[in-house]
Amino acid sequence: MADEKNEGVLARWGKGLKAKSSSLMAKVVELLRKTKKLAKDDPRRIVHSFKVGLAITLVSLFYYFEPLYDGLGASAMWAVLTVVVVFEFSVGATLGRGLNRVLATSLAASLGFGAHFLADLAGDKAQPVILSLSVFFFAAITTFIRFFPRIKARYDYGFLIFILTFCLVSVSGYRDDEILQVAYRRALTILLGTFIAILICLFICPVWAGDDLHSLVSNNIQLLANFLQGFGVQYSNESKEDELLEGCKSVLTSRQTEESLVNFARWEPRHGPFKFRHPWKQYRKIGSLTRQCAYRLESLNSYLITETQTPLHIRDRLMKSCSKMSIESSNALEDIASDLRTMTQPTFPNPHIEKSKAAMKDLKAALKIGPGDGDIDLLEIVPIATVASLLIDTISCIEKIAESVCELGSLANFKCVEAGKSSGLELEQEHQKLPTSAIVNDHCHVVMVD
Amino acid sequence: MADEKNEGVLARWGKGLKAKSSSLMAKVVELLRKTKKLAKDDPRRIVHSFKVGLAITLVSLFYYFEPLYDGLGASAMWAVLTVVVVFEFSVGATLGRGLNRVLATSLAASLGFGAHFLADLAGDKAQPVILSLSVFFFAAITTFIRFFPRIKARYDYGFLIFILTFCLVSVSGYRDDEILQVAYRRALTILLGTFIAILICLFICPVWAGDDLHSLVSNNIQLLANFLQGFGVQYSNESKEDELLEGCKSVLTSRQTEESLVNFARWEPRHGPFKFRHPWKQYRKIGSLTRQCAYRLESLNSYLITETQTPLHIRDRLMKSCSKMSIESSNALEDIASDLRTMTQPTFPNPHIEKSKAAMKDLKAALKIGPGDGDIDLLEIVPIATVASLLIDTISCIEKIAESVCELGSLANFKCVEAGKSSGLELEQEHQKLPTSAIVNDHCHVVMVD
C-alpha cells in the first residue's frame, strides 16, 4: 500500500518534472526564435555587438602593456569606462556623446581646478566650506539646466559629465597635491577612449543616423502609398489588409525615433550623398506631414469595414471615382517616396496629384443626389460619403508632403531627373531592406513592450 | 573731412554696439522668462535640483573626513560617480537605476573575478589571451542582449554597468594582487552612493512616477471631456477653442511618457493610495484607449470648420441631438476622470453614457431624409453627417475607457462610492495642478525641440 503510494508520488514527480522540462525547452526554443528574429530584422545589430567587443578589448590592452600602464597609471580604467558609455549604435550618437564628454570634461576640470585654487587661498578653515558650497550650487544649477528642452535634446549627457568631473576634480583636489598630473592623465585616457570608440564606430561598417532617418521618412511615405493602393483595389486578401494597416500604424508611432535620429544626424560629418550641413530638420517637417496623412488613412480604414451598409445604387456611382482617387494618390505618394529615396528633385506639380484632383471633381459631381434617389437614410450614406471626404482631405495632405519634399530638394540640392537616377538607385537598393520597426527599435531610448 | 569720416565710423560703431547690447539684453530677458516658466510649470524641478546638490555634497564629504577616506581609499570617487548617474527625477527611476547598478555590479564583479581566476590557472602566456577573449565575448553578447525590447525597457542600464564592471575587474585583476580588497571597497562605496541617492530621493519631497502616471492618465481623460464640452456648446470664444484642441493634441503625444512612467512606477514601493503591486500596466491600456478616442475628437475638429456649408434645414434638425450627445459624452468622461483621480470604483453602466445613447437614437432618426427635402448635395451633408458618425464612434470608445477603468478599479480595489469620496478628494487636490506638458517634459528621455 505504502509502496503503491510511493510509486504514485514518484510517477507524479516524474510527470511534473517532464512537464517542467518540456515547458523549459519550449521557452528556450522561443528565446532562440526571438534572438534569430532580432538578428535577422537588422543584421547591423550583430556587427555592432562585435564592434563594441573589439573596442573594449582594445582599450583593455592599456592595462596589459607595461609602458602604457606606467604612463597612465590607474586612470587607464577611465578609458574602459569612456568606451563603454560613449559607444552607441549610430555614428551620430557616438560623436555626440564623445564630443559632449570631452568638452564637458575639459570645461569642468578647469572650473573645478579654479574652485580648488580659490578655496586654497581662503585658508584651511574656510576651504571645506567653500568647496562644499561650490559643489552644491554647481550641481543644483547644472541639474536645473538639464530640464531645458533644447539642452536635454542634445547636451544632456554633457551636463551630466560636467557635474561629475567638477565634483571629482574640485573635491579630490584637497586630497591630492598632484592634482594637475592626475587631471592630465585622466584627460588623456578619456581622449584616447573617445578616440578609439569613434574610430571603430566610424570605420568598421558605420551606421549613420542620417541614413536611417532618410530611409525611415521615405519608407513611411511608401507605407502610406501601399495602404492607399490596397484601399483602391479593395484588398484582395485579408492578411494583406492587416499588414497594410500595421504599416500605417507604425508611421503614427515613429515620431520619437525620428526626433532622436534628427538630433543624432546633426552630429554626423559628410557621408554618402549627405553633406555636412544637410537640412536634417526638414525631415522633421516631412515626417509630421506624413503622420497627419496617416491619421486620415487610419480613419479611412474604419469606414471600410462598415461600408457594406451603403445602398448599392449610390455606392456604385461613387465607388469608381473613389477607387481612381486612391490609386492616383497612391501613385503620387510612391513618386514622392522614390524621389526622396533617390534624392531626385520631384517634378512639381506631380501629374498623379493632378489626375487625382480630376477624379475628385467627378466624385463631387457624383455626390449630388436628387429626389429620384428615393428615401435615403443619411447614416447609411455616411460611410461612403466620409470615405470620399477623407480622400479629398488626403489629396491636400499629399500636396503638402510633395511641397515639403520639394523644399528639402532645393535646400539639399537634389539632382535633377536624368542626372540623378543612376547614383540614386544604389542608395535605394541599399536602404530598401530595413523595416521601419527595426529602425525604431535600434535608436529609441524608451522602448515599448507589447 | 577725415574727422567727419571718423566721427561717422564712430557713430556707426556706437550704433552697432548699442544694437548688439540691446539684442543681448533681449536674449537675457528671454532666457530669464523661459527659466521662470520652467520653474513655474513644475516647481518640483527646483526641489529636485537642490536634492541632487545635497546628495552630491554629502557624498563629497567622504573625501573630506579622514577616517572614511582611509578606509575606502581612492574608490571614494565611485560614490560620487554613483550618485551623479543614479539620481533621477522620480523615485521609481532612481530605484530602478540603483537596483540595476548594485545587482549588475555584484554579478559582473563575481564573474570577472572568476574569469581572472581561471586565466591565472592557465599560466602566464595563456592568461592575456583568455582574458581578452572573455572580455570580447562578454561585451559582444551583453551588447546584443540590450537590443531585446523587454530588456531595453527595464534593464538597459544594468547591462551597461555589467559590461563596465566585468571589464574593470577581470582586466585590472592581472595588475593588482589585492583584487578582492579593491572589489570589496568599490562595492561598498557604490552601495553607499546608491543608498544616499535613494534615501534623499525617497525622503525629501519624493516625486513618485506612479503619482505622475495616475494624474497623467486621468488628466488626459479630463482633457477629452473638456474638448467635448466645448464642442457641445459650440465654442464661445476662439482662444478657448485653440486651448481645447491643444489639450486634445497633447493626449496624442503622451504615449512615450506614459510608457516610461509605467516602467518606472513598477520599481516603486507602496506609497500614498498605491500598493506595491498596483496594476500599473492597466494604465497603459486606459491610455491607449484614451488616445483612440482623441484621434476621433481631433477629426471632429476639422469638420467643425467646414460645417457652415450644410443646408440649414438639415443642420438644425441634427444640431440638437449632436450637441446633446457631445455634452453627455463629456459628462461621462468627466465622471470617469474624476472616479479615476479619486480612486473610486465607477458606477457601471454610467448614466451619462446611457443618456448619450438615447440622444444617439434621436440622431439616427433625424438622419433619415425623404424626397421632401429636395435636391441634396451629399458633399454638403458630409460634414454634419460625419460629425454624427464620429460622435457615435466616440460613445463606443468612451464605453471601452469606462470598462478599462472599471477593470483597474477591481484589480486595485478602488473604494466604493460613499467610502472613497473624502480621502479621494485630497488626492484630487494634490494632483490637479500639474499640466500634462510638465509631466511629459520631466520624464521623457528624448525631448522634442520645435
Name the residue among A34, A147, A442 with its Cβ closest to that of B38: A147
Question: How many CB atoms within 10 Å of residue B62?
Answer: 22
- B238-248: average pLDDT: 76
Q: In chain B, which residues have their Cβ closer than 8 Å to the Cβ of A61?
A: 132
Compute the distance between CA of residue A120 and CA of residue A27 in angstroms, rounded to an integer: 62
Å from B33 to nearest chain A CA? 12
The predicted pLDDT at position B420 comes to: 42
The predicted pLDDT at position B95 comes to: 93
Name the residue among A63, A140, A160 with its Cβ closest to that of B172: A63
Q: In chain B, which residues have their Cβ closer than 8 Å to the Cβ of A136?
A: 53-54, 56-57
The predicted pLDDT at position B103 comes to: 92
Helix (H, G, I), strand (E, B) or coil at A415: strand
Q: In chain A, which residues have their Cβ closer than 8 Å to the Cβ of B160?
A: 84-85
- B72-87: average pLDDT: 78
The confidence band for A80, taking pLDDT boundaries of 50, 70 and 90, is confident
Q: In chain A, which residues have their Cβ closer than 8 Å to the Cβ of B52?
A: 139-140, 143, 163
Q: Between chains, do B46 and A388 touch, taking CB under 8 Å as contact?
A: no
- B217-246: average pLDDT: 78
Q: In chain B, which residues have their Cβ closer than 8 Å to the Cβ of A90?
A: none
Q: Provide the 8-state DSSP code for B344.
A: B
Whether pLDDT at B18 is above 70: yes
pLDDT digits (tens, 9 = 90+) for A320-376: 788 888 888 999 999 999 988 888 888 877 888 888 888 888 877 777 766 666 666
Whether pLDDT at A37 is above 70: yes
The predicted pLDDT at position A304 comes to: 61
Amino acid at B182: V
Helix (H, G, I), strand (E, B) or coil at B274: strand
Mean pLDDT value across chain B: 80
Q: Which residues contact A197 (CB under 8 A, 6 or more apart)?
A: A55, A82, A83, A86, A87, A94, A98
Q: Between chains, do A143 and B53 touch, taking CB under 8 Å as contact?
A: yes
Å from B42 to nearest chain A CA? 11
More confident call, A290 vs B417: A290
Name the residue among A260, A376, A449 with its Cβ closest to that of B369: A376
Lowest-confidence segment of B127-131, B225-229, B344-348, B418-422 by average pLDDT: B418-422
Please say whether the beta carbons of A389 and B379 come within 8 A. yes
Whether pLDDT at A73 is above 60: no
Percent of chain A with pLDDT over 70: 80
Peptide bond into A279 cis (omega under 30): no
Compute the distance between CA of residue A439 and CA of residue A132 in angstroms, rounded to an integer: 45
The predicted pLDDT at position B304 comes to: 60
Q: Which residues contact A144 (CB under 8 A, 6 or more apart)?
A: B38, B39, B45, B46, B49
Percent of chain B with pLDDT over 70: 80
Q: In chain B, which residues have their Cβ closer than 8 Å to the Cβ of A57?
A: 132, 135-136, 139
Please say whether the beta carbons of B331 and B352 come within 8 A. yes
The predicted pLDDT at position B80 comes to: 84
pLDDT digits (tens, 9 = 90+) for B386-441: 777 788 888 888 999 999 998 898 888 888 765 444 444 444 444 445 667 777 77
Among candidate residues A219, A250, A214, the one with its CA nearest the CA of residue A90: A214
Compute the distance between CA of residue B15 and CA of residue A289 in angstroms, rounded to an integer: 44
The confidence band for A236, taking pLDDT boundaries of 50, 70 and 90, is very low
Among candidate residues A293, A362, A351, A369, the one with its CA nearest the CA of residue A324: A362
Distances from the Cα of A190 to the Cα of A105, A198, B132, angstroms: 9, 12, 21
Lowest-confidence segment of A270-274, A432-436, B229-233, B373-377 by average pLDDT: A432-436
The predicted pLDDT at position A132 comes to: 87
Name the residue among B81, B152, B295 with its Cβ closest to that of A447: B152
pLDDT digits (tens, 9 = 90+) for A192-222: 889 999 999 999 989 999 999 999 999 999 9
The residue behind cell 560617480 is: B81
Q: In chain B, which residues have their Cβ closer than 8 Å to the Cβ of A150?
A: 449
Please say whether the beta carbons of A228 and A330 come within 8 A. yes
Q: Between chains, do A442 and B389 touch, taking CB under 8 Å as contact?
A: no
Å from B67 to nearest chain A CA? 13
Q: Between chains, do A174 and B63 touch, taking CB under 8 Å as contact?
A: yes
Name the residue among B63, B137, B253 with its Cβ closest to that of A171: B63
Amino acid at B124: D
Q: Between chains, do B259 and A446 touch, taking CB under 8 Å as contact?
A: yes
Å from A148 to nearest chain B CA? 7
Q: Name the β-bridge partners of A415.
A: A344
pLDDT digits (tens, 9 = 90+) for B24-70: 999 999 999 999 998 888 889 999 999 999 999 888 877 666 555 55
Whether pLDDT at A425 is above 50: no
For residue B188 the three cell numbers come to: 561598498
More confident call, A224 vs B309: A224
Whether pLDDT at A286 is above 90: yes
**A445 φ, ψ to 5°?**
-80, -50
Concatenate the DSSP letters of all residues of B354-392 into one string. Answer: HHHHHHHHHHHHHTEE-GGG--EEHHHHHHHHHHHHHHH
Q: Is B31 left (phi over 0), alpha (psi -120 to 50) or beta?
A: alpha
Name the residue among A52, A255, A375 with its Cβ closest to that of B140: A52
Cα-trace Rg, chain A: 30
Name the residue among A46, A77, A139 with its Cβ closest to that of B168: A77
Q: Between chains, do A143 and B52 touch, taking CB under 8 Å as contact?
A: yes
The predicted pLDDT at position B234 comes to: 65
Whether pLDDT at A94 is above 90: yes
Lowest-confidence segment of A350-364, B149-163, B234-248 by average pLDDT: B234-248
- B162-187: average pLDDT: 74
Helix (H, G, I), strand (E, B) or coil at B270: coil
Å from A51 to nearest chain B CA? 8
Compute the distance between CA of residue B23 and CA of residue A421 in angstroms, rounded to an integer: 47
Q: Between chains, do B381 and A385 touch, taking CB under 8 Å as contact?
A: yes
More confident call, A49 vs A310: A49
**ipTM greater than 0.90, yes or no?**
no
Among candidate residues B49, B53, B55, the one with its CA nearest the CA of residue B196: B55
Q: In chain B, which residues have their Cβ closer than 8 Å to the Cβ of A149?
A: 441, 447-449
Name the residue among A53, A147, A449 with its Cβ closest to that of B150: A449
Please say whether the beta carbons of A61 and B136 come within 8 A. no
Q: In chain A, which residues have their Cβ closer than 8 Å to the Cβ of B64?
A: 128, 171, 174
Lowest-confidence segment of A242-246, B206-210, B368-372, B418-422 by average pLDDT: B418-422
Å from A204 to nearest chain B CA? 15
Q: In chain A, which residues have their Cβ closer than 8 Å to the Cβ of B437?
A: none
The predicted pLDDT at position A423 comes to: 44
The residue behind cell 432618426 is: B365
Whether pLDDT at B71 is above 60: no
The confidence band for A250, taking pLDDT boundaries of 50, 70 and 90, is confident
Among candidate residues B331, B253, B333, B328, the one with its CA nearest the CA of residue B295: B253
pLDDT digits (tens, 9 = 90+) for A336-348: 999 888 888 888 7
